[in-house]
Structure 1
């Protein structure tokens, strides 16, 4: 198959390229960074260097592909984040339509069924609905991933500085978690199989409460590591003091509130809480220890 990927060689892309190339697919990787070209080619893929906001470039790169994997960058700037995310989705949709691609796999998120109240995930709600309306004759798989394990690396300074880990939800809160490698495995499977119409697929490696996350990290670090629940105001202030732009800090705080209220996990649980990934929190904790 001829498969085109957006996401360069990031946390997901570096695993995804290896899997697809090993299965003898002809893979093209889109990157905005010319310096990534040699690394992409070293993995056996072709590099397409250009901007994801350049629709003409996307049309040219998508044309002839049997399938494409699309994802929006996680932050999309410090301002107008939701709008920028949706605009990227619109650009992808236009390029998909003009190029004639018939199979699309989109990286989405748990909670993408809600229009608002989910922080940065709201942008994915709008993209999912955009694809449902504009890509009616295209087979689209919405891969609703859990909370990335790798996001916990943001807590390393807090652990080192105060000996705690936490957020604006209590220790008994369960969160669907996922390893980027497991996302790559699920995406690769979806790209290479025959599908019809539009479908939602959850991609989660483990579903545990955050006290268990703290315990797993503490075990590998050789210390007692308590999970501390912050107020929304404390979390917001802490993120801004750490240098996060105000808009993004507000969105992450809102996402934490949705987790605390069980909103983000609701449809995942209603779908049977499927856990398709093999990398559990204890295994990731060993990777996490490398940050110290």
Structure 2
């Protein structure tokens, strides 16, 4: 039995079909935790058991983890909380349930940066790494998918790209860093969940095929979309002001700012890209398949 949290989220919506297709050949049953089961795609709903509720709830994870052999764990960050509460606070009931039910394996979505000088001052990343440590205390074998920023973050800029030909972030325009497509993260998660020959606790970096700067992204978007796209750097102070204006928790906003500063200082540069840590989807492919339809919509 594999339990999937956040099955309709960015990664979960790619992971769940992979597992549904592969589970019969591996003799696996699937169970999902979903607040709103109606959001599950029709093609998978009949192939999974559904536990309704939040996977941050003690009673929900206790029901969901009973009889489970493996869990896919993803925390949906709650910007109304502090980073510590959003990650470790949310995960604590699950860690206890993992121990109580003797779940053998957990694959979690986390971040790059462990072992670097920046790891303890990287805001949301620091909180995510603390979440990994909490899960590791459960006794389950654990693999933390250590990810850089996602291509999909740019979907939040689709309106601005369409209307102004501009996207913004707080990074240096020429700073190259790894970026990854969420579908590639899902593929790695599926492989680990279905082949549980691994033991102990470790990170599994998923780095995408190449490092890219914001200026690189602008150039590729210009080529793929057929109209000029440029990058504008936003100051961290302006970013804080904007996010606070949306009503986000002040500590969470500071966590975002600290994460972006750490990334700009090289947080994601601590792992070498190899055949094992690279993933296949290029930014050009992702633009053609995902960003372009969103911008043209």
TM category (shorter chain) comes to 0.7 to 0.9
What are the equivalent positions in structure 2 for 1:214-229 lying under 5 Å apart? 214-229=218-233
Match of 1:49 in 2: 52
8 A contact 1:9–1:40 mirrored in 2:
no
Of 29, 32, 39, 1:29 maps to 32
Q: Aligned partners of 2:279 and 2:98: how far apart in 1?
A: 29
Q: Aligned partners of 1:39 and 1:191: how far apart in 2?
A: 23
TM-score (norm 1): 0.88
Q: Indicate how the Cα distance of structure 1 residues 274 and 119 shifts in structure 2: closer, same or farther if over 3 A, else same.
A: farther
User: Which segments of structure 1 move beyond 6 Å, counting only runs of 4 or more?
Assistant: none
Match of 1:210 in 2: 214
What are the equivalent positions in structure 2 for 1:1-292 lying under 5 Å apart? 2-23=1-22, 24=24, 25-36=28-39, 39=42, 41-42=44-45, 44-73=47-76, 75-113=77-115, 115-132=119-136, 134-135=137-138, 137-193=139-195, 194-206=197-209, 207-240=211-244, 243=246, 245=248, 247=250, 248-262=252-266, 264-269=267-272, 275-286=277-288, 287-292=290-295
Unaligned runs of 5+ in 1: none
Q: Indicate how the Cα distance of structure 1 residues 275 and 197 shifts in structure 2: closer, same or farther if over 3 A, else same.
A: closer
Residue by residue over 1:211-232, the C-alpha shift from the partner in whole angstroms, topping out at 9 and shown as x without a partner, is 1111111222222222222322
Q: Indicate how the Cα distance of structure 1 residues 215 and 240 shifts in structure 2: closer, same or farther if over 3 A, else same.
A: farther
Offset of residue 105 of structure 1: 0.9
After alignment, is 141-150 or 104-113 more displaced?
Answer: 104-113
8 A contact 1:18–1:43 mirrored in 2:
no
TM-score (norm 2): 0.87
Q: Indicate how the Cα distance of structure 1 residues 266 and 175 shifts in structure 2: closer, same or farther if over 3 A, else same.
A: closer
8 A contact 2:5–2:72 mirrored in 1:
yes
8 A contact 2:69–2:105 mirrored in 1:
yes
Residue by residue over 1:105-161, the C-alpha shift from the partner in whole angstroms, topping out at 9 and shown as x without a partner, is 1111112555532222222121112233x23x4211111122111111122243345
Unaligned runs of 5+ in 2: none
8 A contact 1:40–1:46 mirrored in 2:
no
Offset of residue 35 of structure 1: 2.6
Q: Aligned partners of 1:38 and 1:278: how far apart in 2?
A: 25
8 A contact 1:41–1:47 mirrored in 2:
no
Q: Aligned partners of 1:17 and 1:64: how far apart in 2?
A: 19
8 A contact 2:158–2:291 mirrored in 1:
no
Offset of residue 240 of structure 1: 4.6
After superposition, the CA RMSD in angstroms is 2.3
Q: Aligned partners of 2:293 and 2:72: how far apart in 1?
A: 30
Q: Indicate how the Cα distance of structure 1 residues 231 and 36 shifts in structure 2: closer, same or farther if over 3 A, else same.
A: closer
